[in-house]
Amino acid sequence: MRALACPASLKGVLSASEAAAALAAGFRAAGVETDECPVADGGEGTVDVLFAALGGEWRDAVVSDPLGRPIRARWLLLPSRVAVVESAEAIGLGVLAERDPLHASSRGLGELVRAAHAEWPAGLIVGLGGSATVDGGKGVRQVLSSLPTGTIALCDVRTRLADAARLYGPQKGASPEDVRKLRRRLMAMQDLTPFADQPGSGSAGGLGAAFAALGARLVPGARYVLDLIRFRERLRGVALAVSGEGTLDATTPEGKAPWEVRRVAKAAGVRCALFGGRVELDEPDVHALSGDPTRAAEDLRALGRELAASAAR
């Protein structure tokens, strides 16, 4: 048999490439030929996944973190001269030691987009996901009044604006009262109202609606990334694909990369197993890791060996 290790990143623990390497090592230790194909959905690690698959040139700029402090954030210029900017690089949960969604601003993402656009790329792709903010793009819109024609915004979920605070506020540090305040703020942004029902408008704390208001086209991030990296071609001749990320929960089917991997694999007649460091999803062929971040790579190697053994039976 042949396997495909195609995980997304385990936020703050392993990059998608590191997770793929650990899974592949487990399969290979069991004698299974395995290809590595890290994936993403517009959230954390999207620029790394695209660089691994397509190459390009790294750039960086000094921008504001979610609490207004200067940080250096990367963006990627693809060989096609299309710029890829990722919200998690500038305003992600990973750039903060603290979480303060009531005050966190998306301004740094606007600054990063402006820096990329200053190099006159052939096009612009913005990954929306993994942000520490629930500001409806207020900070972005303090920096940008419009976007280049043809800008694509990759949404890591299909969530609408009205549900953004409820579904994602808690993971950004919001208490139940904070969630109510954040939802009221988002609903009061009348310039976002025309875009509030678009799938993905609630991604990255309402950044989806903000980018739509600025002229971007919202697209399902996982589907777009898998097409760019030619994922369907990578499935040819594969008996088992394995994907996953740090948490599998009710938000996973809303557009996250592992769920899209499973959908595409199923359509191709390929079995797809999923894993998570924390699993709150009641689905078949889903595997929970230990939940200990220090053991994540070891857990994935063990999972590779376990799945290889089960497939051989």
Rounded-to-integer distance, Cα 82 and Cα 187, Å:
33
Rounded-to-integer distance, Cα 19 and Cα 8, Å:
8
Residue 130: closest CA among 170, 91, 175, 183: 91
Domain co-membership, 60 together with 209: yes
- CATH number of the domain residue 298 falls in: 3.40.50.10350
The two structure tokens encoding residue 258: 């592992």
* AA letter at 58: W
Domain co-membership, 52 together with 198: yes
> For residue 166, how many C-alpha atoms fall within 13 Å in the half-sphere facing its CB?
8
Tell me how long the chain is. Answer: 313
Range of the domain at 304: 2-39+231-312
* AA letter at 88: A
pLDDT tens-digit series, residues 146-189: 999 999 999 999 999 999 999 999 999 999 999 999 999 999 99
Q: Are 235 and 270 in contact (CB under 8 A)?
A: yes
Domain co-membership, 184 together with 299: no
Contacts of 40 (CB under 8 A, 6+ apart): 8, 9, 16, 46, 48, 49, 50, 127, 221, 222, 225, 257
pLDDT tens-digit series, residues 241-258: 999 999 999 889 989 999
The two structure tokens encoding residue 32: 């299974």
Rounded-to-integer distance, Cα 305 and Cα 186, Å:
46
Order of strands, sheet of 240-248, starting from the edge strand that comes earlier in the sequence: 33-36, 2-5, 240-248, 271-279, 286-288
Q: Quick one: which H or E segment has residue 246?
A: strand 240-248
Q: Is 194 helix (H, G, I), strand (E, B) or coil?
A: helix
Domain co-membership, 240 together with 271: yes
Domain co-membership, 178 together with 273: no
Domain co-membership, 307 together with 187: no
Rounded-to-integer distance, Cα 216 and Cα 91, Å:
19
Residue 94's pLDDT is 85
**pLDDT band at residue 313, thresholds of 50, 70 and 90?**
low
The pTM score is 0.94
Rounded-to-integer distance, Cα 170 and Cα 310, Å:
37
Q: Is the pLDDT of residue 95 over 90?
A: no
Domain co-membership, 97 together with 164: yes
**Counted domains in the chain:** 2
Q: Is the pLDDT of residue 303 over 80?
A: yes
Last residue of a domain, one of 222, 239, 265: 222
Domain co-membership, 206 together with 86: yes
Rounded-to-integer distance, Cα 46 and Cα 225, Å:
8
Q: Could you give phi then psi for residue 128, rounded to 5 degrees?
A: -110, 115
CA distances from 260 to 120, 138, 217, 246 (A): 32, 30, 20, 16
Residue 96: closest CA among 44, 31, 144: 44
Tokens 């915004």 — which residue?
153
Order of strands, sheet of 217-220, starting from the edge strand that comes earlier in the sequence: 57-64, 70-77, 82-86, 123-128, 152-155, 217-220
Rounded-to-integer distance, Cα 163 and Cα 173, Å:
16
pLDDT tens-digit series, residues 46-88: 999 999 999 999 999 999 999 999 999 999 999 999 999 999 9
- What average pLDDT is seen over the chain? 95
Domain co-membership, 52 together with 155: yes
- CATH number of the domain residue 112 falls in: 3.90.1510.10
CB atoms within 10 A of CB 130: 28
